[in-house]
Amino acid sequence: MIDIKLIREDREKVKENIKKKFQEEKLPLVDEVFELDKRVREVQVKADTLKAEKNKLSGEIGNLMRDGKKEEAEKIKEEIAKEADEITSLEKEQEELTKSIKEKMMTIPNIIADDVPIGKDDSENVEEQTFGEAKVPSFEIPYHSDIMASFNGLDKDAAGRVSGNGFYYLMGDIARLHSSILAYARDFMIEKGFIYCIPPFMIRSDAVDGVMSFAEKENMMYKIEGEDLYLIGTSEHSMIAKFKDQILKESELPITMTSYSPCFRKEVGAHGIEERGVYRIHQFEKQEMIVVCKPEDSEEWYDKMWSYSVELFQNLDIPVRKLVCCSGDLADLKYRSCDIEAWSPRQQKYFEVCSCSNLTDAQARRLGIRYKDENGNKVFAHTLNNTVVAPPRMLIAFLENNLQEDGSVLIPKVLQPYMGGKEKIEVQ
């Protein structure tokens, strides 16, 4: 959510930003908020004037009663009662106007960075840099679910009978590999100075509305029937919401946290659920990182965070690239974002495995996350998030890039301690 001062002072900038995101249907919201805000301030002035007049008249009643002017005092009481009714009416109007403004403001997208490439959708994202050599082996690489099945490591048929499409059973060495990657990612981030956290896996609706746009909520979140609770789509949701309505100390910043959680997503939209493999599914596990920091530090943290993803994947012998997200691919709360994509030697192309975002103060405004600066001013913090790893999707890249011609899969040195010292896993 942007600062309403921006709409008061520079509506055209807000409108231009909306156009850059190809959301022209939202343009009328800017003028609507401007007029509603103008009316709120008019109502506030009128209410304050009436309250001052009411207080002045109230002070006169005692004097009139003391002087025996009861009739005059009663007339003033009637006048005060009328003013009280009008004040109540104005306060009710102000409350309704404020609610309407908030609803509209939460739909207006965050201002994006000046250097974000302009484009309608993810097809216009821009490759910025590659890391590691993207190789294609001389032998044919099977589909990732077939690789998993060769180790007796995947059972989607049973999951379909038990839970439906979009779920899976991981078994044996594949399941162990999955858990080992998460454990390594956890320790990797702890070594970077991040505090390890296991957060709640369900959050209330006000927390959901604070961390994401309404469209994302509708398309992603599973609601618990009969409860004001949602299953998290990523642990970023509950980690950021941890600081809801808090006034932090400047000395506490930056707050850097990394967390493990299961994640649940409806995956409504154009992508859909994959029938055969485990690339796009309803349930998965993830190691996430978040930062809450001062505004002047958020861009530096953004660069650190995506670089951590690159380093981790390189440690696992997986070539990656950084893809800068264009304006039309940015969710409404994002100032800038990039995807880290892993190389798929089978498809001979890259696919998304991490997403790093700087949301500036958009989440903090929705959630009320502030800190006191050295002058005692309350300032909205900046929030950032990034995927560390998200298996089983990340397993696709891992298996394809470490697969050998005999069907075995090499285990990189950094992962061997988590796999009981195994240097490779072999076909059953």
Q: How confident is the model at residue 218 (pLDDT cuts 50, 70, 90)?
A: confident
Alpha-carbon distance values, 64 to 56, 57, 60, 78, 84 (Å): 13, 11, 6, 14, 20
- Residue 303 has which token pair? 């660069």
Cα 182 versus chain centre, distance: 21
CA dihedral angle for residue 267, residue 168, residue 203, residue 259, rounded to 10 degrees: -110
Rounded percentage of the chain residues whose pLDDT exceeds 90: 80
- Residue 252 has which token pair? 């506490």
**3-state percent breakdown (helix, strand, coil) of the chain, nearest 5:** 45, 20, 30
Residue with tokens 């990732």: 144
Buried b (16+ CB within 10 A) or exposed e, 190-208: eebebeebebbbbbeeebb
The tens digit of pLDDT for each residue in 18-76 reads: 999 999 999 999 999 999 999 999 999 998 888 888 777 776 776 666 667 777 776 77
Q: How confident is the model at residue 383 (pLDDT cuts 50, 70, 90)?
A: very high
What is the bridge-based pairing of β-strands 126-131 and 202-203? unpaired
Position 63 scores a pLDDT of 66
- Residue 307 CB-density burial (10 A; 0-12 exposed, 13-18 middle, 19+ buried): middle
Position 215 scores a pLDDT of 75
Position 298 scores a pLDDT of 98
- Say yes or no to pLDDT of 275 above 70: no
Position 90 scores a pLDDT of 92
The correct answer on CATH 1.10.287.40 for the domain covering 4-105 is yes
4-105 and 122-425 have identical folds = no
Q: How confident is the model at residue 289 (pLDDT cuts 50, 70, 90)?
A: very high
Hey, what amino acid is at 107?
A: T
Q: Mean pLDDT across the stretch 344-367?
A: 95
Instruction: Give me the architecture of the 122-425 domain, per CATH.
Output: 2-Layer Sandwich (3.30)
Q: How confident is the model at residue 78 (pLDDT cuts 50, 70, 90)?
A: confident
Residues 225 and 12: their CA atoms lie apart, in Å, by 42
Residues 170 and 147: their CA atoms lie apart, in Å, by 12
Hey, what amino acid is at 259?
A: S
111-115, 147-151, 184-188, 263-267 — which is least confidently predicted?
263-267
- Say yes or no to pLDDT of 281 above 70: yes
Position 165 scores a pLDDT of 87
CA dihedral angle for residue 389, residue 393, residue 398, residue 403, rounded to 10 degrees: 170
Mean pLDDT of the chain: 92
Residues 169 and 162: their CA atoms lie apart, in Å, by 10
134-138, 217-221, 392-396 — which is least confidently predicted?
217-221
pTM of the entire predicted model: 0.89
Q: Mean pLDDT across the stretch 171-184?
A: 96
List the domain boundaries for the chain.
4-105, 122-425
Residues 290 and 293: their CA atoms lie apart, in Å, by 10
Position 335 scores a pLDDT of 98
Position 382 scores a pLDDT of 98
Buried b (16+ CB within 10 A) or exposed e, 271-284: eebeeebbbebbbb
Q: How confident is the model at residue 362 (pLDDT cuts 50, 70, 90)?
A: very high
Residues 238 and 225: their CA atoms lie apart, in Å, by 19
Position 73 scores a pLDDT of 72
Residues 342 and 81: their CA atoms lie apart, in Å, by 70
* Higher pLDDT pick, 313 / 55: 313
